[in-house]
Amino acid sequence: MLHQKDFKYNGTPLKDAKKALIMVHGRGGFAEDILAVADHLKIEDFALVAPQAYNNSWYPLSFMAPVQQNQPWLDSAIEMLQLLERELNEEGIASEDIYFFGFSQGACLTLEYVTRNAKRYGGVIGIIGGLIGKDINTGNYLTNFEGTPVYLGTSDPDAHVPAERVQQTADILRNKNAQVELQIFPDAGHVILPEELGRANNFIFGYSGMKNEKP
């Protein structure tokens, strides 16, 4: 594994938590910075965990480059998230009580990971991100989300993530039985908007009590 296990924690200690939020930073970012975003989320008694990428980047090129050009770093990053989910499971936190938040490159990685490993998660938030590859390989996505709520927010235009790819991602996730809410903000810039956090709070964290309902 090229990325080394380097997890930063905040919130409720794992031994006391019944839910966990995995937060994935963008290119050039730090785990501590993305953890700070949790101050704006309506979460109580959650364990917060953020993996740190080697050299602050999950893979070297654009997420829309051919996948092989981002290897072996992309596979290593996906393995890192798989390791983290497994460790949370071993701590007694079921996957249906695990939530994800990713921004930019971290959103792309998060969405790729959860779609390759689709199951009933607590919820997924992807801000300015989409599924990875020059062409999306839907053959990688063999399972379904069983009604997992997913919030996608983005800007149009964005210098790194075309809105068309975010829309395409939303369509694929819906086909995999995710309940997706997509918001596209005109000329919003490459940032996390208060409006996105507000909607994610309502849609994702206000939704958890209904998680056993069929979509």
pLDDT digits (tens, 9 = 90+) for 85-110: 999 999 999 999 999 999 999 999 99
pLDDT at residue 92, as a whole number: 97
Mean residue pLDDT across the chain: 95
Region of poorest pLDDT, from 1-10, 67-76, 142-151:
1-10
- Beta-sheet pairing, 46-51 with 19-24: parallel
Report whether 85 contacts 114 (CB < 8 A).
Answer: no
Structure confidence at residue 1 as a pLDDT band (50, 70, 90): low
How many CA atoms, within 13 angstroms, populate the side-chain half-sphere of residue 126?
A: 32
Query: Average pLDDT in the 79-86 region?
Result: 98
Report whether 29 contacts 56 (CB < 8 A).
Answer: yes
Query: Average pLDDT in the 24-39 region?
Result: 98
How many CA atoms, within 13 angstroms, populate the side-chain half-sphere of residue 109?
A: 32
Q: pLDDT by residue (tens digit) across 154-188?
A: 999 999 999 999 999 999 999 999 999 999 999 99
pLDDT at residue 206, as a whole number: 87
Helices then strands, each counted (H, E), the chain: 5, 7
Q: What percentage of the chain exceeds 70 in pLDDT?
A: 95
pLDDT at residue 124, as a whole number: 98
pLDDT at residue 210, as a whole number: 38
Q: pLDDT by residue (tens digit) across 95-151?
A: 999 999 999 999 999 999 999 999 999 999 999 999 999 999 999 999 999 999 999
What b/e readout covers 150-172, taking b as 16+ CB neighbours within 10 angstroms?
bbbbbbeebebbebebbbebbeb
